[in-house]
Structure 1
Amino acid sequence: GKYDGVKHDAEWASAICGVPVEKITWFAREIGKKKNVWLLHNFAAARCDACENVPQLFMTLGAMGGHMGKPGNCTANNYHANAGNGGPALVKGGSSGYPSQKNEIDGVIPGPQVWEACLTGKYRMVGDWYSGKGSQAGEDRTCDIHCIIHDENAYLQTGPNMKRGIEAHRKMDFVLSKAQFMTTQAMYSDIVLPVTTQWEVPGGLSASNREFLFCFSQVTEPLFEAKTDVEINSLIMEAIGVDPKTVYPISPKQAFFNSIAGATVIADDDSGKYVPLVTVTEADLKEWGVEGKTQTGRVGLNEFVSNGGYQVERKKDDKYSSFLGYGSFIKDPEKNPLKTKSGKFEITCQAKADLFNSIGLCDHTYAPYPEYLVPGTGYETTFKDGKIDGEKGEYPYLLFNPHYFRRSHSVFDNCPWLREAWANPVFLNASDAKEKGIEDGDTVRVWTKYGEVLRKACCMENLMPGEVGIPHGSWVRLNEKTGIDEGGADNYLTGNNISGCGVTSYNNNNCNFEKYDGPALEDDCYTDARILNLG
Structure 2
Amino acid sequence: MALLDKAIGRRNFLKGGAAAIAVAGLSGCVPDGKDASDPAVESAKAHAVESDAAIVNGEGEWVTVDCWGNCGGRCINRVFVKDGVVLRQKTDDMKEDTVETPQQRSCPRGHQMRQHVFNANRIKYPMKRKSWQPGGGENSHGDLRGEEGWQRISWDEALDYVAQELKRVYDEYGPRSVVCMGTDWPVLNLLGGRLQWNGTESYGNWYNAPVRMGGNIGNGLPDCLVGNDRMDLKNADTIVFYGMNPAWHSAGNPMYYYRLAKEAGTEFVYVGPEYNVSASVLEARWVRVRPGTDTAFLLAVAYEMIRLDDEQGNIIDWDFLHRCTVGFDAESMPAEAVINENFQAYVLGEYDGVPKTREWATEICGTPVEDITWYAGQMRKTRDVMLLHNYAPSRYRGSTDLPQLFLTVACMGGHLGRSGNAVAATFSIESANSGTKLVKLGDPAIGGVKIGAGVASVVVPKNTLEYSELPKPTIWKDMDEGHYTGYGDYRNGALDNGWVKKDGYLPPKEFDFDPKIIVNDYHNPLQATEDVNRGIKVFKKMDMVVNIEYRFTLTSQYADILLPCFTAWEGNLDPDKGELQVATNGIMRLSRAQCNRDYALFSRPAVQPLFESKNESWIYVEIAKRWGFKESDVFSVSDMQSYFNRIAGAEVMDDDGVTYKTLVTISQEDIDAWGVEGEPQQGVISLKDVLEQGYYQVPRTKDDNHGFYGYEDFVKDPEENPRSSASGKLEIYCQSKADAINWLGFGSEEVKPYPTFHTTTYQESFANWERKEKGAYPFIMYQPHYLRRAHTCFDEGVWIREAWPNPVYISAEDAAAKGIETGDTVLIHNDAGKIVRIASVLNTLMPGCIAVPHGSRTYLDPETGIDFGGNENMLVDHKTQDDFMPQCDGYNSCLVDFEKYNGKPLAADCQFEPVLWTEE
Shorter-chain TM range is: over 0.9
Structure ID, larger Rg = 2
CA distance in 2, matches of 1:333, 1:171: 56
State which of 609, 619, 629 in structure 2 corresponds to 1:242.
Answer: 629
TM-score (normalizing by structure 1): 0.94
SS at match of 2:569: helix
Distance in 2, Cα, partners of 1:462 & 1:124:
42
Instruction: Judge which range, 245-254 or 488-497, deviates more.
Output: 245-254
Residues 655, 705 of structure 2: 8 Å contact kept: no
Segments of 5+ residues of structure 1 without an aligned counterpart are: none
Question: Following the alignment from structure 1 to structure 2, what is the Cα–Cα distance between the partners of residues 43 and 128?
Answer: 19
1:101 maps to 461
The residue type paired with residue 407 of structure 2 is M
CA contact (8 A) 1:415 1:529 kept: no
Q: CA deviation at 1:225?
A: 1.0
**Do 1:362 and 1:498's aligned partners in 2 also have CA atoms closer than 8 Å?**
no
- 2:367 aligns with one of 7, 10, 19: 19
Structure 2 counterpart of 1:171, which letter? Answer: K
Alpha-carbon separation, structure 2, partners of 1:146 and 1:362: 31
2:374 and 2:396 map into 1 onto residues whose CA distance is 26
Contact 1:181 1:531 in 2 (8 A): no
Listed as ranges, the gaps of 5+ residues in structure 2 are 1-348, 446-457, 502-506, 572-581
Q: Deviations over 1:88-116 (max 9, x none)?
A: 22222222233543212232111112112
- 2:768 maps to what in 1? 385
CA distance in 2 between partners of 1:307 and 1:360 (Å): 54
Do the aligned residues in 2 keep the contact of 1:444 with 1:457 (CA within 8 Å)?
A: yes
1:415 corresponds, among 756, 773, 797, to 797
Matched ranges for 1:223-372 at <5 A = 223-269=610-656, 272-321=658-707, 323-372=708-757
2: CA distance, partners of 1:154 / 1:326: 37
Separation of aligned partners in 2, 1:198 and 1:79: 23
How far apart are residue 269 of structure 1 and its match? 4.4
Alignment equivalent of 1:56, drawn from 404, 407, 414 = 404
1:100-137: CA deviation from partner (whole Å, max 9, x where unpaired): 43212232111112112211122222221352342115
The verdict on how the C-alpha distance between 1:416 and 1:269 changes in structure 2, with shifts beyond 3 A counting, is closer
* Structure 2 residue 140 is the aligned partner of structure 1 residue 140: no
User: Contact 2:460–2:636 at 8 Å: present in 1 too?
Assistant: no
Shift of 1:36: 0.7
Any conservation in 2 of the 1:124–1:141 contact (CA below 8 Å)?
yes
Alignment partner, residue 779 of structure 2: 397
How far apart are 1:80 and its partner, in Å?
A: 7.8
Q: Cα–Cα, structure 1 residues 534 and 40, in superposed 2: closer, same or farther, change >3 Å?
A: same
In structure 1, give the amino acid aligned to 2:470: I
Distance 1:125 1:75 in 2: 33
How many corresponding residue pairs? 530
Q: Is the counterpart of residue 190 in structure 1 residue 560 in structure 2?
A: yes
Cα distance change, pair 209–422 in 1 and its aligned pair in 2 (3 A): closer
Assess, with a 3 A threshold, how the Cα gap between structure 1 residues 289 and 524 changes in structure 2: closer, same or farther.
Answer: same
Taking the aligned partners of 2:651 and 2:460, their CA distance within structure 1 comes to 21
Change (3 A) 1:329 1:292: closer
Is contact 2:440–2:595 with CA below 8 Å preserved after alignment?
no
Q: One-letter code of the match for 1:132?
A: G
Moved more, 34-43 or 140-149: 140-149
1:508 equivalent among 877, 893, 896: 893
Question: Is 2:471 aligned against 1:114?
Answer: no
AA aligned to 1:382 is S
Between the aligned partners of 1:518 and 1:15, the Cα distance in structure 2 is 38
Question: Shift of the alpha carbon at 1:478?
Answer: 0.8
How many Å apart are 1:144 and its aligned residue? Answer: 2.2
Equivalent pair of 2:417/2:715 in contact (CA under 8 Å):
yes
Kept in 2, the 8 Å contact 1:39–1:75? The answer is yes
- The CA distance in 1 between the partners of 2:801 and 2:434, in whole Å, is 37
* Change in CA separation of 1:118 and 1:83 when aligned onto 2, cut-off 3 Å: closer
Aligned to 1:471: 853
Structure 1 residue 410: Cα displacement: 1.0
Aligned pair in 2 of structure 1 residues 405, 80: CA closer, same or farther (>3 Å)? Answer: closer
Give the counterpart letter for 1:372 in structure 2: F
Could you tell me how far 1:192 is from its partner in structure 2? 1.1
Say which structure is richer in helix: 2
Deviations 1:239-282 (A, max 9, x none): 22221222235432222112211222223446x33222111112
Verify the 8 A CA contact 1:81 1:87 in the aligned structure 2: no
Using structure 2 for the length normalisation, give the TM-score. 0.56
> Which residue in the other structure is 2:532 paired with?
162
Contact 1:51 1:503 in 2 (8 A): no
Deviations 1:366-418 (A, max 9, x none): 1111112113xx1111111234x511111111111112232221112222222
Decide whether aligned partners of structure 1 residues 418 and 339 sit closer, same or farther in structure 2, where only a CA change above 3 A counts. Answer: closer
CA RMSD in angstroms, aligned pairs only: 2.1
Alpha-carbon distance change, 153 to 360 in structure 1, aligned in 2, over 3 angstroms: farther
Q: Contact conserved, 2:430 with 2:597, CA < 8 A, in 1?
A: no
- Shift of residue 534 of structure 1? 6.4
Deviation at 1:56, TM superposition (A): 0.0
Give secondary structure in 1 for the equivalent of 2:606.
Answer: coil
Of 77, 80, 88, 2:425 maps to 77
Could you tell me whether the CA contact under 8 Å between 1:74 and 1:83 is conserved in 2? no
Give, in angstroms, the shift of residue 349 of structure 1.
0.8
